Amino acid sequence: MTFTDITKLLDETHASFVLLLCHHNSDPDAVCSAYAFQSLIKKLRPSLTVEIGTGQGISRLSKHVLEHIPIIVNLNPDVEKADVIVLLDTNTIQQLGALAEKVTKTRAPIIVVDHHAAHP
């Protein structure tokens, strides 16, 4: 799925709230990936609310990073209100910890963005 496909999905679903989820104990790779993706979506679709969330906190190193970069991570995201969910640096729902069950039950489209994957 390309970013063009993602923006098309956002438009087709008339999304107003996009939830970017990171794995439990989110490291700087996860948090900063979500921040970059959030910035890109907000640039292309400024009317959208785009939130970064995690269900079981962030790592100690991520907490240190957040002291220097204005990234807001919701430690209790409202999965039920999301129109679209994007998993970043997280390729299985099990990595979401306490949020896994809520994400499994959602009717919102789920997009997995794995920046570790090799591209053909």
Structure tokens at 67: 């002291």
Confidence of residue 117 (pLDDT cuts 50, 70, 90): low
pTM for this model (two decimals)? 0.91
What are residue 61's phi and psi, to 5 degrees? -65, -40
* Per-residue pLDDT tens digits for 68-109: 998 999 999 999 999 999 999 887 888 898 899 999 999 999
* Per-residue pLDDT tens digits for 40-69: 999 999 999 999 999 888 999 999 999 999
- As a dihedral over the C-alpha atoms of residue 5, residue 33, residue 84, residue 108, rounded to 10 degrees, the angle is 110
Q: Which domains does the chain have, with CATH numbers?
A: 15-105 (3.90.1640.10)
